[in-house]
Chains A and B, each alone.
Chain A
């Protein structure tokens, strides 16, 4: 597969703190990026997306930053809550690939009360 990780990176934060989850993507031709949240035993849930013509996009408590120069994507979660505990995946979409998404390895976020 194109993206397989044997060990998920983990991030542990205190409730109320801000969280920053990072992702490096592989293809400079990718033009659309999405962050997904996956809770144990469930399918991925859309959080926020960003197109390559932008470098920042904000949602409710979440912000995505895109740095095309170094092919880096980050997800910032403000005032992290216990319900935010999950695995977070970034995904890239190459515009001429029929909508195929390539997923990053994921980061497990653990929020301590």
Chain B
């Protein structure tokens, strides 16, 4: 249980195009999902908190107009990198927080497998 998927697992795009990454909780509901970015040999940096049915909360320094987040259902959040540039190339990881109290600690976040974005 507690599986989070991401799609695509990797994507290559041209500079100036937009890319959408999906994050799904497969066997639980998640009112809150989180988006992280990770550069090689570095830690995970939280970009934003995605809340189902409301606007995302962005961390300081993260451009909300560039990284569009939509949390349309209890099992899906999407991150769209708009007008991508080579410096946006990174490993993007989402996590989902279990909304229920069905035997799992409600604070626990379950991570997706990540999406490798390469912008040419």
Contact = CB atoms under 8 A, between A and B. Distances in A.
**Do A and B share a complex?**
yes
B114 A41 contact: yes
Interface in B27-55: 32, 34, 41-46, 49
Given A1-B45, A1-B46, A99 B105 contact: no
A74 to B, nearest CB: 18
A100 B48 CA distance: 9
B76 interface: no
B63 interface: no
Contacts, number: 77
Contact of A89 (B6, B44, B107, B112): B44
Interface in A93-111: 93, 98-106
Interface residues of B, number: 28
Nearest to B114: A43
A98 B34 CA distance: 11
Nearest to A1: B45
A36 interface: yes
Contacts of B44: 44, 89, 103
Interface string A72-102: 0000000000000000010001000011111
Interface residues of B: mostly helix, strand, loop or mixed?
strand
A5 B44 CA distance: 10
Interface in B49-97: 49, 57, 59, 61, 91, 93, 95, 97
Contact of A8 (B32, B41, B111): B41
Contacts of A6: 41-42
Given A41-B114, A93-B107, A99 B42 contact: no
Contact of B34 (A5, A8, A101): A101
A3 interface: yes
A100 B46 contact: yes
A70 interface: no
Given A4-B43, A44-B44, A44-B111, 19 more contacts: A1-B43, A1-B45, A1-B46, A1-B59, A1-B61, A2-B45, A4-B45, A32-B107, A41-B114, A43-B111, A43-B114, A44-B93, A49-B107, A89-B43, A98-B57, A100-B46, A101-B95, A103-B46, A104-B43
